Every structure is written in structure tokens, then in C-alpha cells.
Structure 1
Amino acid sequence: MQGLRAVAVLLVLVYHLDTDYLPGGYVGVDVFFVISGFLITSLLLREVRSHGRVSVSRFYVRRVRRILPAATLVLVATGIAAVLLLPVTRLEQTALELAASAAYIENFVLAGQTVDYLAAEEAPSPVQHFWSLAVEEQFYLVWPLLFVGWAALRSRMPERRADAVLGGAVAVVIAASLACSVLMTAAVPTAAYFLPFTRMWELAAGGLLAVVLARWDVPDRLRDPLGWAGLAAIAAAAVSYDEHTAFPGYAAALPVLGAAAVIAAGEGRSRRSAGRLLSTRPARFVGDLSYALYLWHWPIIVIMLGTSNTTELSPLSAAVAAALSLFLAWVTKIVLEDPVRVRGLLDTGRSALAFALSGILVVTGAAWGLHSHVQQVRSTEFDPQVHLGPQALDAGVEPDEITAPPYPSVLTAEDDLPDLYGDGCQSTETDTHPSPCVYGAEDARTTVALVGDSHAAHWSPALQEIAEDRGWQLHTFTKSSCAFTSTLLVRPGEEVPYTQCQEWTGNVLEELRALKPDVVFTSSRAQAAPYGIDDEEEAREAVAEGMSQLWRELDEAGIAVVVLRDTPTTRSRIVECVDLHSPDVQACVRKRDTALKGEDPQVIAAEESGVEAPVVDLSDRFCLDDVCPAVIGNVLVYRDSHHITATYSRLLAEDLAERIEDVL
């Protein structure tokens, strides 16, 4: 069994070090689930058959002894390392997830966060991997109760029939959870990955195997082929699956059945069996460290990435991370896990409960300390004499050095959003009808509209300022990842048609015809991807043609179109970069050629549409001759890799107004 544990943890470790090596290495967690379900169920079966009952209290005492000492150590150490080494921008989320991990509800926290469009670029926390431990412990809140009931029934019926009842009950759990997994993976895949309802069938599969093997042995002639087939199934999943695989769902069956086959085969009957390979000293050594290795490897990787503000480890960094993880796992086993196990510590319900509560309090205290530290550095007041924004470019200020705490602060930048988000006017990816906001004077003589995706939305603060100053009325029509084009796009993060965008665009066009604004301002992300076209140049032409078609329809309705050229992009986790390198943020600039790479389809459409659609280009307010800074005039330009802050947008109002006057 230790050898199979070694396989599981090494799959996860390699996957986290570099997904290119094992794009489906995440199935190691599923192998762990099967092993855990098998061992725990075997223990419960033996207890019922030996004593005729299950001691629920003793069951949880054993879980506390096995799980909590090492987990508590890692959580506390991670909290300390986070405040010392991670950017302050990461600490609030880390504090939340430390507390959630200590309470074994981390999976529910992650399930709720992964559907947040605005958190799409949020870096993972150093305790994110505790989600799998949370799933196990949630499963084991109810699993012993099944055996309590079975023990009561067993005394009233023949043994064979009682075993059949137990096997049937476990099979029902598997069927129900697997069905839930398949349905949720198709409907809400990000949440399905973390929830216990979609995962419990994997633990129960190990449990069913324990029930079956308690009565029937695998024939000797089948053991060797069964073991190798199981390892092959696990390897096939680890190599062929990737981030695009619909998982767990049906796909989880391959590693689950593979793990079950390896367990069923045992050590085999020949020297060349898979079981003998997994029983070698190196395999047993890694298997003995597997739990502690799983706990330590992820915080080490995340903290190394956080301190270097990168998204991938270099080969050398990966080797260092792996070595340090193995070393800390070995120390944890020798110094903590073995003494607790050998010396009989935490052997009573009272001591186990006291340790569990103390561990939760200590970790929660560490989380509160992180949270308090964050609050101390959160607030930065806007000062127009200090936070000049684009005006600093006219004054000749060097934009690669911060002379005062930037605004918005690095802790609030990702929340520095246009008003239309808080006002509920940014349509989500599933919406097909617009929910426009209206800003400005009710009796305005001039009515304008803003249309496009989130890159149109980040111009709304500037347009609101202009509308207020000029007495305009501004109507906003924006939708996440939905460029204003009739071309069918790809749904974000997927390879399926974004039909909701196309339908929404058609409905917006109808509303614009009814509204008849004087001007429609439109902007969209230059990287909008059409469905079914892989060639980059052809894709831009296709998106541009769809834009031209819509602009011609607006022109025929007597509505003028003004294009706001897309803003430059910057590096990922840009706010963290600023936090790490302040006050000299030269390391956070991006080359102009990279930031403005590729022609904007809107510019192509303006040249080819056949209608007068002037382009307003403010790239010179984001970039100098050869670089695009992350901070200009002590103002953060970006809140993520391609959205500008509402503050910087607002400070661009005067420039935007002048450029609009020029083209109109």
C-alpha cells in the first residue's frame, strides 16, 4: 500500500512542479481517495467482526492522531512564512484559507471562489491543497455511521446476507455520488472539482473493494496482470488528461479503477509483478513520507513563486522545491508523526478533542494575525497633488519609481472597479439580455452609449466624468468577454461557441436602435477569439468583419460610432510585482511592442467597414517610447494583466475628452 501512496504523491508533486511533465498528475489525489477509503473501511470491518460494534469516538481519535499533528504544524509554519515572504496582496486570502483549512472546509471556499470572473487571475493560496483533506474528513463524518447501522443489522441476519446488505449500501453511495459528479462536472465543472458530493464515490469505491476482498480473494493467475493493468490505467490518466479534461465526472473512473486494481492485486505472485515493484525500499520510503510530503510541497512551491513573482518554476527551482519538500516531510515524520504514533500520544477522546480544538485556535489565531497586518497597510487616501496619474507624463516625471504610496493601494487595486460592476450592469457570461446603467443628466441634450466587453467597461469611469462635465447622458452595455461583433466567439476558457454573447449582442443592437444615441463608443479586448478559427491573422479579420457589420447597421440607423482602441496589456500578477519591487518598479514595466502586440480588430474594422468610425488611441498615455509602466504618477495603471484601474481611467477623462473632440 505504501508503494501506491508513493505513486499518488509523486504524481501530484511532479504535476505541481511542472504541468508539462504530467498534465494529468492531479489524478494522484484520486488514487489517495481510493487508498483511504479502502484502509478505513477495512479497519471498520475488522472492528465490527471482532467486537460486534463500532466505536465512533475511537474512530475519530485515530483520525486526529493520524491527520492533525502534521497538518497543524504545516498550517502554522505556512502562516509565518506567508507574512515574512509573500506579497501583502496575498495575505488576506491566505488568512481566509488558513482558517478554512484548519476547520476542514477549504474545499467549499474554493468551490465558491472558482466561479468568480473578477478573481480569474488570483494566485493560489499556499494552503489550497487542503481541499482534498477537507473532502476526506467530510466523508468520514458520515462513513462510520453506515457501519454502526450495519453492525446493528448484522446481529439479526446471516453473515452472508449482512455482507450483501453492506455491499449494496456502499454501491448505492457510489452510484449516487458518481451521478452527481457527472452532472455537476457538465454543469459547474469548477465547483464540481472540490465538492464532497462529487468525490465521495471515489472513497466509497475503495470501501467497496474492502468489503469484497474481505470475503473473496483475487485468483493468483489474475494478480499480476491486474496489478500492471491498474498501474497502466493510472499512468494513462496522468499522461493523457490535462486542464481541459472534464474532471472528475466519468474521467475520474480511470484512475479510481486503476488504484482499485493495484490494491486488489496485492504484491502479486512473481518477482516481476507490479506489487513487488511497489514494495521495494525506495517505494516504501516515499510512501511512508507521502502524507507529510503532500502537506509540505504545495506551500513551498507557492511561496517560491510568490517571492519571485513568477508563474512557473525554473528547473533548478523545481529541484530545490522537491528536495526541500522531501526533507521537511522526513523531519516531520521522524520528529512528529512517529512519536505521536509510537508513544501513544492523543490516545484518549479527551486529549484528541483538546488537541483538535487547540490546533484550530492556533491556526485561526495565525490567520487573524495575517488579517490584522493586512488591515494596517490597506488604506491609502487619494491626494491629487501626489497621485497625478497620466498628468505626470506631461510633467516629465519618471514613471518607474514610486515617490509615495500608490493609489489605489496594492491591497485594493483588484477591487478598484468601474461603478457599473457594483450597480449590477456588467452582464455575466450566461446573460443574454443587457442590463444597462444610465449615468449623467436626465434632461441631457446629448445621449451616448458605451458598448463592448470588460475592456469597454474599464473606460466607463472616464466617460462618466466627461458626461458629468459636458451634461451628457451615458448608457452602458457591457458583458464579460463579449466583444461587440456579430462573429461567433469562443466561450472564455473553453472551446465551445459563446452563443450567449452573440444573442446578447443582437439584443443590444435592438436597444441601441430604440435609444438612438448620438454616439456609440465601443471598445473590446484585442485578443477576442472567434469560434473555429485558429490562425491568429484570420481570427482578427473575422472579428473585425463582424464589428464592421454591426457598425454599418448602426450607421444605417443614423448612429455615429467612435472606437476606443484597446489598452495595452501588462504582465500577470502585476499588483504583486509592484508590491514586491516598490519603490523602484522598473522590474514591472512591459516592453511596448509586447504590450501592444497584434493589431486591434477594431482598427482593422475602422479601415474596412466603409463607414466613418474614427479611432481614439490613448496608447501614449499608457506607454513611453519603448515601455509601458505599471505605475504612472503614483497611480496603479492596472488591476490585473489587462484591465486598468477605475482610478487611472477616471484620470484619463480630460485626455479622452480632447481626443473625442478631435475626431468628432
Structure 2
Amino acid sequence: MPSVTETGIRPALPFSPVLARRVEHGHVIRDDIQLLRGVAVLAVLLYHADKSLLPGGYLGVDVFFVLSGFLITRNIYRAVSCGIFSYGAFIADRFRRLLPACYAMLLFSAVLATFFLTRQDMAEFVKQTLGTLTFSSNIVLWRQSGYFDGASSLKLLLHTWSLSLEEQYYLLLPPILYLGRRGNTLGLLLLLFAGSLAACFSGILYKPSAVFYLLPFRAWELLAGSVCAVLMLRERAPTVPHVFKLAALAVLLLTLIFPPTAPHPGPSALLVVLSTAILMVGAIDFGHSPLARGMYFFGDISYSLYLIHWPLIAVANHVYADIVPIPVRLGLMIAAVALSYLSFRLVEQPFRAVASTPRRRVFMLASGIGALVMLFASGLYVARNPLPGGRAASDAPNYGLGRTCAFDAEFVARPACQSSPTPSVLLWGDSYAMHLADALAQQERFGFVQATKSLCGPVPGVAPVTGAYNASWAQSCLSFNDSVIRYLDAHPEIRLVILGSKWRQYFVSGNADGFLVRRMSDAVPAFTTMLDRNIVEANLRTLVSRATSSGRKVLIVLPPPSSDFNIYQCLQREREGLPYVGAPDGCQIDEAAAMLKDAGLSALIRHLSPLEGVYSFSFRPLLCDGKRCRPEFDGVSLYRDEGHLTPRGSRTLGKQSGLNAYIDGLLTVNGK
């Protein structure tokens, strides 16, 4: 993100007149850098307004990383080379540059949160605020990026991950440059660049969330800018022909418009970083046309604009049950530009113009601490005073018998994932099988073992590929299901196999980017973007035949009726009197719409039901009346999001729907 303005060099180190464009408050500004900032922040803005407007707009953050690495390294490297670098003065200058606008954004966000967030959402906001203030929000957000964690689109401070990542780099860069001063600074930076890039490209397939958020995997982008800065400060600075710079600019813009379909950060980030780095070596005059001046303007306000725009969008995501209408998003972007201009003129520039004397540094530090204490006092008060009855467990992740039962690797029958030492039932599937565990665990007539993996349905040989759940994850899903089959073969005491899943990922087009598919007769899986539904049915038939051939029974539990909106959030906002535009009265679920989404599953059940030993169970008769399906039962909130059950909701449905009694009957009675 944009966070660094190139500071003026001391009289002993004059700027090259070729690179100097403007001087404001003692700061030398390169117009070409400001233009790139303008392009980058507008790319991010358009992407957040509507992804279809600029599909690669998220790469604007990668542009900012290069610019920040370049500018901060120029400032530090010159001072280090001349022996006049002061770490304390450097930190004070960074605080003076970064914190005032950041504090203003935090206070602005706290006001928005007070009026628009539920008390439980406020607790998450406080955690993110603490992460922002301690330059660790990237770590906080990484830890909140699991399958069951809140949607990133609802986190008001989601964008601060890049701030923290840059600030961590700023703290580490001076020692690195001091170390390089004793040897080869450029060589050291290139070595670190190569190591970080290698870690990024090798880790993206296995730990995509960590690679996205954490500095060791993203440092190469800032280091690219640092390398360019050191090159430019050598006695014989390299030059890049004008035509190459124009080609780099074209590649940058085309990548923003047509980003490669690959995990991020990946090839698209590399293209953007290299293109920006080429533009940093030497200067390019973009002139003073109206378009260029517009880009300079957005470059000037880019830091405040980046800070302010996202909380507005996140609040809108809280208020709207469905996708926020495009006119509303565009209106918010216009408001963000106006507010960021005010922040730039009233916060950024005044603090930037203040001389950094020791007395003023102490005053600024004390003022900042005072403001933050007030912010935290109000936030913690709200977080520690939730709705009557304390913080509901409704928003807690529902992993069934425990977090360790959401397997990352192959299935192993852990004691913690068994309701008894001698289970006779296997619960197998994805998160929609996990949320059945509480229902099964409340009775003592039979024991079960939980074999579950998020998003990985109990369909041998087929795994979805979508977002962070990439091809490497899909392979682990295939291996997980294979290990469950091996467990079944080795444990004849299992008499009933319960298959639980959302199932929709296999039957609704557009739910996945592709699939890793291996027919039961094949040894090697193949990737496909179009899944043949007959393969799903054929592989399930093979599984059912294998399970029932030894006298076992198979029970397919249909997921509860689901919605397109967050049912839990709807109920919370309704109870606290907060707006939730587009949700039906009482947060009820449209039964016809829910059935339409599950049409593929219904067809599968019809095809499998005639098979001997196959049964199915649905919660719909209890919850639906032919038009609407209830989100609560006897005052108990059933859902924790669009479709998953809360632990208490699971126990309630297990009892009221007769699921446990039905399972008990299957275990004690032969035949259908």
C-alpha cells in the first residue's frame, strides 16, 4: 500500500535535477512515482468497487510494495553511506509520516463500527485494531483466515495487513543495509530477493494464506524496489531506454486488466513487480496533460485514499445481505476520494510540515498514545459487554468433536475424534459433516468416529479446486478420502457410514474453478474445468457397493436448507436493531430457492436410493412449511452462517428431527 513519500535529501546530498519534480514541505516529489501511485490506488479502488471493472486491480498493492521499497531504501541508504543515519530519528519520521492518517482512519472506523457492527463483530474489530497498532495486523488476519473464520469482506481493517507488512520491512531494512555496508549491499539484497521469491513460489501451493500475509514470502516485492534504489545511487547508475519503460508500463497496465489465472502472489505479481522496477530505474516524464495531472492528484492522496476506502466498503458489506449494489459501491468510492482529500490536507500535510524536534516527537507520541487509549477503552467496553447471556457460541467454529478432527492430512482415528472407544458409526465428509457431530454426540446408544476435512466431500476421486483450495489441496483431499476407505476396510466393526456434505460444490456450476478428477479405475487424477456429474455418481456407487458388500449401511444426510445471506448475522443485526438490507423478514429461508440449489443432490439421491443398504435423511420436513424455512427452533439460533449449524443448533435438530432415533433404528433393524 502507499505509505512513503520520498523525503528531501540533506544539503550535503542534493537530488539530481533529472529526478526532482516538486518540493513540498521540504520533501522532493517525483511526478512519475506519484503517477504510478495514482494508477495503483485507482486499480485497488476499482477492484473493490466491482471486480469486473478491473479484474487485476488487487495487483495495485504489489505496485505499492515496489515503490515503498524503492523510496525507503533511497532515504536510509544515503544516510547510512554518509554515516549520518539515526535509527531513532528514522522511526520518529516514519511515525510522523504514517501514524497521523492511520490514527484518523482508526478513529473513523471505530465510529462506523459503533453504529453498524454487532457487538460480536466489534470484538473482532478490536483484535484487528490491536494488530494495526502493533504493526502485526497481517499476522492477526492470517490467523483469522481459516475456513470457519469470518468473511474477509466484513473486516473493517482488512487492508491494514499491507501496512503492517511494510512497517515490519522498514524496521528490518536499516540493519540489513548496515550489514551490506561491510560487504556488497546489492549482492545481499539480491540474495534476499531470490530467497523470498523462491519461498513465495514454492509455498503458494501448500500454505497460500501464510504466503499472502507474511513478510518472508512477500519481502521480494519490497526488495525489488530496494535493489532499484541501490542501483540508482551507484556512481554509474544504469539507464533504461525509453522504449523499454513504455513497454514495462504497457505490461503493467495489461496485467491489471488481464491478470493470469494463477494463485496470488504468483506470475501476475512477478510481472507487475518487474514492470514497476523497470520504471523506477531513472525517471520518465509523463508530462502535464489533464490525465497526468489527475494521476498526480490521486498519487498525492493515495495513502489516505487507501486507508479510508476499505472501511466504507466493509460497512456496506455488513449492511447488505446480498451483494452491495454497484451504484452504492461507486458512491462510496466517490465519498472515499472526498474524505481522503480532507485527510491529506488536514492530517497528512500538517504533520508532514512539522519539524521533527525532540520536544515535538514526545508531544506527538503522547498524543498518539492518548488517542489510542481512548479508542481501546471504548472498543474493549463494547467487546466485553455483549448481548445478555454473554458472548454467544453461535459464531464459534463448529469442528464437531474438536479442531483436530478437521484433518489437514490423511485420516487417522484419533481418540479425540471418537465419541466412544468402540465406535460403530463413521461420520465422513466436509464441514457439513462436522456440524452433525454435536447431534450424534448427545446420545449414548452408539459411538462414532469423525473423519472430516473442510470442503472435501465424501466423493472418492473428485475434489474441487477454488481459490486457496488449489490443486495441491485437491490432491490432499483425494488422499484423505482414500485413507478413509482404507480405514473402513480395516475396521469391520463399523456398521453404518454417514456421509455429510454441502454437496453443492459438485452440482452447481460456477462453485469451483475446476476439479481434480480420478475415476475409480484410474491411478492418476486429471484437472478439468467441467465436471461430468456421471463421474460423481459412478464413484459414489462404487463406494456404496464397497461399503454395503460387507453388510454395512450408508446414510446420506442432506444439508439443512441454506440461503445466500448470512443467517446468523441477520439474526444478530435484527436483535440489535441494526440495518440488514435485502434479508427477508425474520431472516427466513426461501424453501423453493434452497431446493433449486440442491436439485443436483436430489437427483443423486433418487439414483442411489434404490441401491440396497442406502438411506437418506433431511431436516427440511421439520424446518420448512412449503414456502419458508425457519432459522430458529424454540428460541435456538440454528445457523452460524449461510448454512452451517451451530453446536447448539445441531443438538436441537438431532433431537427434534429424529435423526438419532433414525440412526439407532438403522443399527438395530435389518432391511430398509
TM-score by length of 1: 0.83
2-side partners of 1:277 and 1:266: how far apart? 17
- 1:278, distance to aligned residue in structure 2 (A): 9.5
**Measured at CA, do residues 171 and 217 of structure 1 come closer, stay the same or move farther in structure 2, by a change above 3 Å?**
same
Given that residues 552 and 613 in structure 2 are in contact (C-alpha distance below 8 angstroms), is that contact kept between their aligned partners in structure 1?
no
- 1:583, distance to aligned residue in structure 2 (A): 8.0
Deviations 1:461-488 (A, max 9, x none): 22233x33xx333333333223223332
Query: Alignment partner for residue 501 of structure 1, among 477, 488, 504?
Result: 477
Given that residues 489 and 528 in structure 1 are in contact (C-alpha distance below 8 angstroms), is that contact kept between their aligned partners in structure 2?
no
1:340 aligns with 2:314: no
Query: Alignment partner for residue 283 of structure 1, among 281, 295, 305?
Result: 295
1-side partners of 2:361 and 2:147: how far apart? 41
Q: Which residue of 1 aligns with 2:649?
A: 648
Q: Which residue of 2 aligns with 1:7?
A: 39
2-side partners of 1:3 and 1:59: how far apart? 26
Q: Which residue of 1 aligns with 2:553?
A: 560
- 1:659, distance to aligned residue in structure 2 (A): 4.8
1:264 aligns with 2:273: no
The 5-angstrom pairing of residues 289-328 of structure 1 reads 289-310=301-322, 312-328=323-339
2-side partners of 1:253 and 1:502: how far apart? 31
**Measured at CA, do residues 504 and 144 of structure 1 come closer, stay the same or move farther in structure 2, by a change above 3 Å?**
closer
Query: Alignment partner for residue 430 of structure 1, among 409, 433, 436?
Result: 409
Given that residues 107 and 132 in structure 1 are in contact (C-alpha distance below 8 angstroms), is that contact kept between their aligned partners in structure 2?
yes
Given that residues 635 and 648 in structure 1 are in contact (C-alpha distance below 8 angstroms), is that contact kept between their aligned partners in structure 2?
yes
Query: Alignment partner for residue 139 of structure 1, among 169, 173, 190?
Result: 169
1-side partners of 2:283 and 2:335: how far apart? 32
Given that residues 561 and 589 in structure 2 are in contact (C-alpha distance below 8 angstroms), is that contact kept between their aligned partners in structure 1?
no
The 5-angstrom pairing of residues 33-432 of structure 1 reads 33-48=65-80, 51-114=82-145, 116-119=146-149, 121=151, 123-148=153-178, 153=182, 165-214=184-233, 215-216=235-236, 223-241=241-259, 245-268=262-285, 274=286, 280-310=292-322, 312-344=323-355, 347-349=356-358, 351-352=360-361, 355-356=364-365, 358-360=367-369, 362-363=371-372, 365-378=374-387, 380=389, 411-415=392-396, 417=398, 419-421=400-402, 424=404, 426-432=405-411
The 5-angstrom pairing of residues 429-578 of structure 1 reads 429-435=408-414, 447-465=424-442, 467-468=443-444, 471-491=445-465, 493=467, 494=469, 496=471, 498-513=474-489, 514-529=491-506, 531=516, 532=527, 538-539=532-533, 541-578=534-571
Q: Secondary structure at the match of 2:426?
A: strand
1-side partners of 2:434 and 2:602: how far apart? 16
**Measured at CA, do residues 437 and 542 of structure 1 come closer, stay the same or move farther in structure 2, by a change above 3 Å?**
farther
1-side partners of 2:310 and 2:419: how far apart? 50
The 5-angstrom pairing of residues 622-641 of structure 1 reads 622-641=623-642
2-side partners of 1:300 and 1:572: how far apart? 20
Query: Alignment partner for residue 17 of structure 1, among 39, 49, 68?
Result: 49
- 1:358, distance to aligned residue in structure 2 (A): 4.6
Q: Secondary structure at the match of 2:450?
A: strand
For residue 95 of structure 2, what is the amino acid of its counterpart?
V
2-side partners of 1:518 and 1:168: how far apart? 64
- 1:534, distance to aligned residue in structure 2 (A): 5.0
Q: Secondary structure at the match of 2:295?
A: helix
1-side partners of 2:362 and 2:174: how far apart? 18
**Measured at CA, do residues 612 and 4 of structure 1 come closer, stay the same or move farther in structure 2, by a change above 3 Å?**
same
**Measured at CA, do residues 74 and 463 of structure 1 come closer, stay the same or move farther in structure 2, by a change above 3 Å?**
same
For residue 496 of structure 1, what is the amino acid of its counterpart?
A
**Measured at CA, do residues 206 and 304 of structure 1 come closer, stay the same or move farther in structure 2, by a change above 3 Å?**
same
Q: Secondary structure at the match of 1:561?
A: strand
- 1:361, distance to aligned residue in structure 2 (A): 5.5
Q: Secondary structure at the match of 2:463?
A: coil
2-side partners of 1:353 and 1:184: how far apart? 43
1-side partners of 2:266 and 2:324: how far apart? 30
Corresponding residue pairs, total: 603
Given that residues 98 and 364 in structure 1 are in contact (C-alpha distance below 8 angstroms), is that contact kept between their aligned partners in structure 2?
no
Given that residues 69 and 226 in structure 2 are in contact (C-alpha distance below 8 angstroms), is that contact kept between their aligned partners in structure 1?
yes
**Measured at CA, do residues 37 and 495 of structure 1 come closer, stay the same or move farther in structure 2, by a change above 3 Å?**
closer
Q: Which residue of 2 aligns with 1:402?
A: none
1-side partners of 2:530 and 2:353: how far apart? 63
For residue 482 of structure 1, what is the amino acid of its counterpart?
C
**Measured at CA, do residues 503 and 68 of structure 1 come closer, stay the same or move farther in structure 2, by a change above 3 Å?**
closer
Given that residues 606 and 614 in structure 1 are in contact (C-alpha distance below 8 angstroms), is that contact kept between their aligned partners in structure 2?
no
For residue 9 of structure 1, what is the amino acid of its counterpart?
V
**Measured at CA, do residues 550 and 350 of structure 1 come closer, stay the same or move farther in structure 2, by a change above 3 Å?**
farther
Deviations 1:517-562 (A, max 9, x none): 34333322221435356557x42x3223222222212221111223
For residue 248 of structure 2, what is the amino acid of its counterpart?
G
- 1:189, distance to aligned residue in structure 2 (A): 1.6
1-side partners of 2:291 and 2:152: how far apart? 41
**Measured at CA, do residues 360 and 631 of structure 1 come closer, stay the same or move farther in structure 2, by a change above 3 Å?**
farther
Given that residues 185 and 248 in structure 1 are in contact (C-alpha distance below 8 angstroms), is that contact kept between their aligned partners in structure 2?
yes
For residue 301 of structure 2, what is the amino acid of its counterpart?
L
2-side partners of 1:29 and 1:126: how far apart? 17
2-side partners of 1:80 and 1:477: how far apart? 44
- 1:334, distance to aligned residue in structure 2 (A): 1.5
- 1:623, distance to aligned residue in structure 2 (A): 2.0
- 1:579, distance to aligned residue in structure 2 (A): 1.9
1-side partners of 2:478 and 2:77: how far apart? 57
2-side partners of 1:378 and 1:566: how far apart? 29
Q: Which residue of 2 aligns with 1:157?
A: none
Given that residues 543 and 601 in structure 1 are in contact (C-alpha distance below 8 angstroms), is that contact kept between their aligned partners in structure 2?
no
Q: Secondary structure at the match of 1:517?
A: coil
**Measured at CA, do residues 34 and 118 of structure 1 come closer, stay the same or move farther in structure 2, by a change above 3 Å?**
same
Deviations 1:40-63 (A, max 9, x none): 2222344356x5432222222221
For residue 325 of structure 1, what is the amino acid of its counterpart?
A
Q: Secondary structure at the match of 1:430?
A: coil
2-side partners of 1:548 and 1:40: how far apart? 61
1-side partners of 2:543 and 2:646: how far apart? 29
Given that residues 418 and 461 in structure 1 are in contact (C-alpha distance below 8 angstroms), is that contact kept between their aligned partners in structure 2?
no
- 1:148, distance to aligned residue in structure 2 (A): 4.1
Deviations 1:297-350 (A, max 9, x none): 11111112212344x432221221111111111111211222222242xx1245
2-side partners of 1:600 and 1:181: how far apart? 38
- 1:646, distance to aligned residue in structure 2 (A): 2.1
2-side partners of 1:419 and 1:641: how far apart? 18
2-side partners of 1:108 and 1:438: how far apart? 29
Given that residues 528 and 543 in structure 1 are in contact (C-alpha distance below 8 angstroms), is that contact kept between their aligned partners in structure 2?
no
**Measured at CA, do residues 218 and 278 of structure 1 come closer, stay the same or move farther in structure 2, by a change above 3 Å?**
farther
The CA RMSD over aligned residues, in Å, is 3.0
Q: Secondary structure at the match of 2:156?
A: coil
Q: Secondary structure at the match of 1:126?
A: coil
TM-score by length of 2: 0.82
Q: Secondary structure at the match of 2:71?
A: helix
Unaligned runs of 5+ in 2: 1-32, 507-514, 517-526, 578-583
